[in-house]
Structure 1
Amino acid sequence: MSTWLFLRRAGRRSAHLLLGCCWFGIFAFSLAARAQTSKPMIEYNLTPQAPNSHLITVTIRYKPMETTKVVDFALPAWRPGRYQIQNYARNVRDFTATDQSGRTLAWEKVDKSTWRVPCGGVREVRVAYAYYANTLDAGSTLWNDEELYWNGTNLLMYVVGQKDRPARLSLTIPQSWQCAYPLKKVGEPFVYEAPDYDTLADAPGIASPTLNLVRFDHAGTTYHLAFQGPVSLPLNELAGQVERIVAATVAMFGGKAPFADYWFLYHSLPGGRFHGVEHLNSTSITFPSSVFDERPQRFYAITAHEFFHAWNVKRIRPQGLGPFDYSREVHTRNLWVAEGVTSYYDDLLCRRAGVISVEDYLRAVATTIASQQRTPGRLVTPVTAASFDAWLTPDDSNVRVDFYTKGALVALLLDLDIRRRTGGAKSLDDAMRWLSATYAERGVGYPENGMQLAVEAVTGASYADFFARYVDGTDELPYGDYLEVVGVELIESRPAKQPKVSLGIELAGDERQTVIANVLPTEAGFQAGLDRGDILVALDGEQATMATLPALLMKRQPGEVVKVLVFRRGKLREFSVTLQPETRTDIQLRPVAAPSPTQARLYREWLGLIQPEP
């Protein structure tokens, strides 16, 4: 738990003490705070080795506050924001331990991520190790001849049982470099402090001679934007658009951000991909350098997504996500709230900020709906189960559900339904603010049914049936019924060049070898006996590949039987497939031609075209 959350929790508790106990509560809190600050710092240093070695030497100096027989140093096995075991210890080598005089101390590795140092009565334990850092994404660590980039959970060990100790981090890099790092700077050239390990580990940093920085102030908070890599737009123009997103988000949560500084750390990567990771008062984002020439909306959406996370998941969090146990999987059924609700708001906040048009926003929602409807697992796996099992990736792709996608669509339906039930007086915004006030401001996580409690609190109505069917169940989401609230209609159409029929399979490969990547359950290919891994050869005697199959199917009608030749485990096999109607369609959302006055008002309020009346 961060110091900020600790203080908020302590303050709320003391406010509820009886009058006769107030002075005792304040005195006790003062003693606790003094004990917290009097604990010796755990000191960290990062010293890069030769750039092409990609090795960073990490040193840690720890002073036990009392005599102890052993000290355990552990590296996280995962990082918050990515719910998969990463085993960062695989990149550690050359571990050593000494005491305050430099005398070598014995050590042993007791599990995959923990190093144990017997230390007797020594005053200080100093450990050093090299960390191999040659991966660049939003949650990784990289050292090369252009930059030092790090995420604390990757390479900074913690002292087991001492994560509440304050920490100091120094960098041994050229003084001429720029450094973007969200921790408090306490010394030159590069010395920073954190109130505890969780805060230290949560802070990503970039140090580079080519880092470009720009900043702006909004509502008492300074926002820093750091860009590593080429950017084709003027940075001030970019910062202006980001400020609009910041303003819309901060306004939604009451007009004041819960931090004095916030850092956007960007990597622009030629040929790269979009990836973002949220942190307490920062985010790290990678994006393709071509985005501003192709789809700038994607840049603003991921920026809005990660900034929204500063509230939703970093502060408004499920009970299981903090304080963190970095050694094992931590389960919650609410990743659909943490990630899915955030995914709903990223494009919506861009729309409210005026960064994207109404047309672009409706197109983005339509794309999300189409993606969900092409997912067979939507009929098998509830979004809460997908959240709980995020640590697992089923081999059977037909049971997978993306809690980002379905969570965003559930949030859409909830938002529209809250507006309908309250005549526009309330929205999902109010539910998020309720979660913030009820849990986050007290420094605690919400329970597993937290979102249901929130929407019921702001509407005064039961949502038991909704959650049973669409959150804990697998009923189809009735988009049209809910979009009607704001006068939007869902239109399905089949592209003219798309066949009317389907084999009920998904393909991978090219014209030389086309493989059946998936056979959709209960559909035509499954019923005929086709299987994943079959190599597609021919359809009715004509060569069938990814390139030629659509043209071959254009000639057919639903109900026709075709002969499909495949190679399976080296043997040629023939299957008779009864073609089914093609069910995949394009989806468009558009406002109805003649909305009612209520629909028109709710539509404008939903999209930020007008502000709702207080």
Structure 2
Amino acid sequence: MKLFYSMIWLCATSVGFGQVNTYEISFENAVHHEAVITANFPDIPTDTLSVRMSRTSPGRYALHEFAKNVYNFKAFDGNGNPLTVIRPNPYEWKISGHDGLVRIRYTLFANRGDGTYSQVDETHAHLNIPATFMYAPQLRDREINVHFKSREDLGWKIATQLPEVSEGHYMAPNLAYFMDSPTELSAHHLREFEVPDTNGNKQIIRLALHHNSTEDETDTYFEKVKKVVLSEKEVYGELPTFDYGEYTFLACYIPNASGDGMEHRNSTILTSTRSLADGGMERNIGTVSHEFFHAWNVERIRPESLEPFDFEEANMSGALWFAEGFTSYYTGLILCRAGLISPEKYVEGLTGTFNYVWNSPARQFFNPIEMSFQAPFVDAATSVDPVNRENTFISYYSYGSTLGLALDLSLREKGLHLDDYMKLVWEIYGKTEKAYTIGDLHQTLNQYAGQVFGDTFFNTYIYKSGMPDYKKLLFSVGVALKQDSEIPYMGISVELDGDGNGLIKSNPRMGSPAYKADLDKGDVILAINDAPFPKTEKFEAFLRQFQVGDSLSIRFERYGIEKTTKVILEQDPAYTIFLAEKEDSMPPADVLQKRKQWLNIE
């Protein structure tokens, strides 16, 4: 969402011709989650003006149908006369009979505080712009001015990446920037620090933290945020040049929020129900790490498939394994480099993601590009019919993260590293804001590491769904990857139901013992080897009393009918990842040195 004109030029031109769309939003009925929005569209060049609610939101890829929360819609001309309104579809209002100006007014219900939707209550007005404001597609290039009528009686202040024109009034140079500019009105705590750019100009990094904690806790958390910012700056060698010289973290850590994170061009939303005093000090900082990395990777290093962002249809990209996945790889690595988690915790934390990707049957169906194509179906998308994602989908976050790990360690075997590859991608596509294709990423890796290396990586792991030799790669930095051959495995998730039996909660993993035995999601296990289903321990722990190769007689109920089957237990395919010296002897000095370079520790 590159800005093609300077703010000064836009303001002068818009004022001269009067072509500024204006909005006002107020929150008199905040306790019942309502906002009232008015908008003025002057100098309309056509007989009919179409206004819409967006169906998507920047950073999301699925449809969200924000129009469902709009009601009490009315339209008037410049003299206050009612206008004719036609609804051609659920997302659009066509307004005719105007005198060159259309004024609309509507009520919005908003009660989800996350990175996509809006939430209005007595604690805050948490506004994602596409979920809040109607827009006129034919006027998308106009400047926009918006007046946030803050609830001063509730102590609200305004935080946003939009530049302030006057108190309570903010501007956007065009629709794209407006839609990409979430805004938080609340009694938040504010912290900021300055970071010089490569030209010696200082940019402001700001934290607007809405939470129920103390000022001291805010200070402590902000120090963590600063460490993340500076560590990520080291990856690329510089900060992006933020529009208007500022970047704002909009954090809501309150009980009525929904956990999420969402990147934007010069800001990010961070939401969690965890307070800083109740685990959030450690657990929320990972989202800070992930979302700020997006200031480079996805906001400026931008996939061509997401340009321009479509507010009317789902947005599909095959590059999310890189845009989201490589960002996920750096999420934990940055926390380690910044000293916010220990090397041991970081390395052991790789285990869950690795097992999820390595052991998934889904790789037989889709490669990382095709997994990325699934985003409109999984990225906060909703549906009511059952799906088989346990067997057919791997999150592009996780898939890309494990590939980022493999690429980094593979490059380090050549005396190179992923940081410098990311720097090169930044120089070619990020700083210039030239949107890239997957072929461009491939060519850039060839340029950085050589054609044989680059072709092998992309042809084996990106265009196909091969897996690198992780045991060898991890061993090169003194990290062990091991399985326990004595742990039995069945391949299902089972929970107690209301009658004390075992309800199978997930689709059995393809090829697993439960799958081979024709057990299925929704089946109720009544007895195992003629004994009642265990009620005093978790199912995985219960299985530990058996041996790999044991045959279990399962009596179960499906659709009200009792059935029996036999399950032959197999070895658990899961691995554990840990620092090699925890179990074996201390790795050689050269290996430890490679680990220190990888984790950027002294």
TM-score when normalising by structure 1? 0.88
Aligned in 2, Cα 1:596/1:577: closer, same or farther, shift over 3 Å? closer
Decide whether the 8 Å contact of 2:489 with 2:572 is kept in 1.
yes
Instruction: Name the counterpart of 1:353.
Output: 338
Please say if 1:454 is aligned against 2:459. Answer: no
Separation in 1 of the partners of 2:572 and 2:596?
A: 36
1:2 aligns with 2:2: yes
CA gap of 1:280–1:160, structure 2 versus 1, over 3 A, is same
Q: Report the Cα distance in structure 1 between the residues aligned to 2:533 and 2:577, rounded to whole angstroms.
A: 28
Amino acid at match of 2:491: G
2:388 to 396, 406, 416: 396
Is 1:535 matched with 2:524?
yes
Q: Secondary structure at the match of 1:180?
A: strand
In the other structure, the counterpart of 1:571 is 561
Contact 1:348–1:607 under 8 Å retained in 2:
yes
Residue 520 of structure 2 aligns to a residue whose secondary structure is coil
Report the counterpart of residue 32 of structure 2 in structure 1: 53
CA distance in 2 between counterparts of 1:256 and 1:474 reads 34
Contact between 2:388 and 2:507, CA under 8 Å: does it hold in 1? Answer: no
**C-alpha distance in 2 between matches for 1:485 and 1:553:** 35
1:15-414 paired onto structure 2 within 5 Å: 40-64=19-43, 67-119=45-97, 122-175=99-152, 177-188=156-167, 190-208=168-186, 210-219=187-196, 220-231=202-213, 234-259=217-242, 260-270=245-255, 274-290=259-275, 293-294=278-279, 296-393=281-378, 395-397=387-389, 398-414=391-407
8 Å CA contact 1:139, 1:284 repeated in 2? no
Give matches, 1:475-554, under 5 Å: 475-493=466-484, 500-510=487-497, 512-516=500-504, 517-545=506-534, 547=536, 549-550=539-540, 553-554=543-544
Equivalent-residue separation in structure 1 for 2:484 and 2:489 (angstroms): 16
1:2 touches 1:195 (CA, 8 Å); kept in 2?
Answer: no
Greater Cα shift, 286-295 or 463-472 = 286-295
Decide which of 416, 420, 423 is 2:409's aligned counterpart: 416
Q: Which moved more, 1:503-512 or 1:586-595?
A: 586-595
Cα distance in 2, alignment partners of residues 33 and 146 from structure 1: 34
Whole-Å separation in 2 of the counterparts to 1:276 and 1:192: 24
Kept after mapping to 2: 8 A contact 1:271/1:289: no
**Equivalent residue letter for 2:209:** F
| Alignment check: 8 A CA contact 2:24 2:149 kept | yes
Q: Structure 1's 538 and 328: CA in aligned 2 closer, same or farther, altered over 3 A?
A: same
Distance in 2 of aligned mates of 1:214 and 1:444: 33
Mapped partners of 2:335, 2:483: distance in 1: 26
Q: What is the CA-CA distance between 1:307 and the residue it aligns to?
A: 0.6
Mark the CA change 1:458 to 1:286 in structure 2 (over 3 Å): closer, same or farther. Answer: same
**Distance (Å, rounded) in 1 between the aligned partners of 2:252 and 2:71:** 28
Query: How far does the alpha carbon of each residue in 1:168-209 deviate from its partner, in whole angstroms, 9 at most, with x for none?
Result: 110122345311122111112x1001111111111111112x
Does the C-alpha gap of structure 1 residues 344 and 111 become closer, same or farther in structure 2, counting only changes over 3 Å?
same
Distance in 1 between residues matched to 2:341 and 2:10, nearest whole Å = 49
Cα distance in 1 for partners of 2:408, 2:339 equals 20
Deviations 1:30-55 (A, max 9, x none): 99997678562110111124123311
Question: Per-residue deviation at 1:305?
Answer: 0.7
Tell me if structure 1 keeps the 8 A contact 2:489–2:569. yes
Whole-angstrom CA distance in 1 between matches of 2:222 and 2:570 = 51
**Deviation of 1:585 (Å):** 4.2
| 2:554 alignment partner, SS class | strand
Range moving further from structure 2, 564-573 or 455-464: 455-464
Q: Which residue of 2 aligns with 1:15?
A: none
2:571 corresponds to = 581
Worse-matched range after superposition: 390-399 or 338-347: 390-399
Q: How far apart, CA to CA, are the structure 1 residues paired with 2:598 and 2:574?
A: 29
C-alpha change, 1:358 and 1:37, in structure 2 (3 Å) is farther
Question: What SS does the corresponding residue of 1:405 show, helix, strand or coil?
Answer: helix
Residue by residue, what CA displacement relative to the aligned partner does 1:124-171 show, whole Å, maximum 9, x if unpaired?
Answer: 111111111111223221111221110101111221122121111101
Work out whether residues 540 and 562 of structure 1, in 8 Å CA contact, stay in contact via their aligned partners in 2.
Answer: yes
In structure 1, the residue matched to 2:382 is none
Match of 1:607 among 589, 599, 602: 599
SS where residue 42 of structure 1 aligns?
strand
- In 1, the alpha carbon distance for the partners of 2:315 and 2:250 equals 27
Query: Is the contact made by 1:491 and 1:589 (CA closer than 8 Å) also made in structure 2?
Result: no
Q: For structure 2, list consecutive stretches of 5 or more residues without a partner in the other structure.
A: 197-201, 379-385
Q: Which amino acid aligns with 1:572?
A: E
Structure 1 Cα separation of the partners of residues 175 and 483 of structure 2? 51
Structure 1 unpaired stretches of 5+:
9-29
CA contact (8 A) 2:354 2:402 kept: yes
Deviation at 1:59, TM superposition (A): 1.1
2:260, 2:272 within 8 Å by CA — same for their partners in 1?
yes
CA root-mean-square deviation: 2.6
Checking the alignment, whether the CA contact within 8 Å between 1:179 and 1:205 is kept in structure 2 is yes
Counterparts of 1:427 and 1:502 in 2: how far apart (Å)? 37
8 Å contact kept, 1:230–1:289: no
SS at match of 1:519: coil
Q: Distance in 2 between matches of 1:545 and 1:449?
A: 53
Residue 561 of structure 1 contacts residue 577 of structure 1 at CA under 8 Å; is this kept in 2?
yes
Structure 1 distance, partners of 2:221, 2:398, is 27
Number of the residue aligned with 2:429: 439
Per the TM alignment, residue 555 of structure 1 is displaced from its structure 2 partner at its CA by 3.8
CA distance in 2, matches of 1:334, 1:81: 13
Sequence identity (%): 27
SS of residue matched to 1:310: coil
1: CA distance between counterparts of 2:579 and 2:357? 15
Q: What code does the residue aligned with 1:144 have?
A: D
User: Take 1:554 and 1:597, find their aligned partners in 2: how far apart are those partners?
Assistant: 39
Q: Following the alignment from structure 1 to structure 2, what is the Cα–Cα distance between the partners of residues 489 and 236?
A: 38
Q: CA deviation at 1:493?
A: 3.9
Matched residues, number: 576
Closer/same/farther in 2, CA of residues 599 and 330 from structure 1, 3 Å limit: same
Task: Return the offset for 1:552.
Answer: 5.1
Deviation by residue 1:231-290 (Cα, 9 ceiling, x = unmatched): 365222221221111112223223343111111111113496641010111111112435
Q: 1:293 offset after TM fit, Å?
A: 4.7
The secondary structure found in structure 1 opposite 2:580 is strand
1: distance between equivalents of 2:480 and 2:511? Answer: 30
Structure 1 distance, partners of 2:62, 2:294, is 19
Moved more, 216-225 or 308-317: 216-225
- CA change 1:88–1:547 in 2 (3 A) is farther
**Kept after mapping to 1: 8 A contact 2:30/2:120:** yes
Give distance in 1, aligned partners of 2:226 and 2:542.
52
Tell me if the contact between 1:46 and 1:58 (Cα under 8 Å) persists in the aligned partners.
Answer: yes
Deviation at 1:502, TM superposition (A): 2.6
Superposed CA offset, 1:538-560 (max 9, x none): 11111115755456534433333
